[in-house]
């Protein structure tokens, strides 16, 4: 099976779900912990443009940064970070915490994690909308704007440390254009190619 490498300088749709469709978010606080751990392990290697966290799966739209070097823990020189390894550290950290809290063992996520190269501008625009509309699509809320665990509201407020909110708003042409782009998307077939559940 071919596994697409995470290419530096490229956009990717990264997504995954729980093993056997098991919930990966067991409690309300798990969503916050997921984002905290993601920021800790992945903010150095990714620019994040959108996310959606939904009980048994998640979506991320990221840009893989060019070569990133950080100081070694022992203070002796620098180490080059690898995006795939950072994601692996993140998944392992989160899974270990969930397993410990819930008295479970074994894998939490399907492996390997899914990734698709995002190779054109219309794909980026549609995928951002798809991430935000996902909770409504799955019936968790009647209005996607009410779902707490997507990047929609965070982008509008432009107040998150790891999310490239201003770049997203600029991409759409401002706040009004960003909001308008999300209206009526359920009537369009343009989002169907992003359905992976």
At residue 196, does pLDDT exceed 60?
Answer: no
Q: 3-state DSSP call for residue 7? A: coil
pLDDT top residue among 87 and 67: 87
**11-188, which class in CATH?**
alpha beta
Q: Indicate whether this model's pTM tops 0.85.
A: yes
**pLDDT 10s digits, 11-21:** 999 999 999 98
What residue spans define the domains of the chain?
11-188
pLDDT at 139 over 70: yes
Q: For residue 158, how many other CB atoms are within 10 A of its CB? A: 13
Task: Tell me which residue has tokens 């939904």.
Answer: 54
Write b or e for each residue in 49-61: b if 16 or more Cβ atoms lie within 10 A of its Cβ, otherwise e. Answer: bbbbbbbbbbbbb
H-type helices in the chain, by residue range?
A: 28-42, 83-102, 121-137, 152-157, 165-172, 175-181
To the nearest whole number, what is the mean pLDDT of the chain? 88
In this predicted structure, the answer to whether residue 32 has a pLDDT above a threshold of 80 is yes
């Amino acid at each position: 099976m071919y596994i697409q490498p995470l290419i530096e300088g490229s956009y990717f749709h990264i997504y995954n779900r729980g093993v056997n469709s098991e919930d990966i978010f067991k409690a309300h606080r798990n969503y916050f912990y997921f984002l905290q751990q993601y920021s800790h392990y992945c903010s150095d290697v990714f620019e994040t443009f959108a996310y959606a966290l939904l009980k048994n799966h998640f979506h991320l739209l990221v840009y893989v940064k060019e070569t990133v070097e950080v100081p070694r823990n022992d203070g002796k020189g620098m180490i080059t970070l690898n995006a795939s390894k950072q994601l692996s550290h993140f998944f392992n950290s989160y899974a270990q915490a969930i397993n410990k809290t819930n008295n479970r063992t074994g894998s939490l996520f399907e492996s390997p994690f899914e990734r698709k190269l995002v190779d054109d501008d219309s794909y980026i625009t549609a995928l951002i909308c798809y991430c935000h509309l996902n909770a409504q699509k799955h019936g968790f809320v009647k209005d996607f704007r009410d779902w707490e665990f997507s990047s929609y509201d965070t982008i509008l407020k432009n107040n998150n440390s790891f999310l490239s909110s201003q770049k997203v708003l600029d991409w759409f042409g401002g706040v009004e254009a960003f909001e308008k782009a999300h209206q009526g998307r359920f009537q369009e077939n343009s989002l169907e190619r992003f359905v992976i559940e």
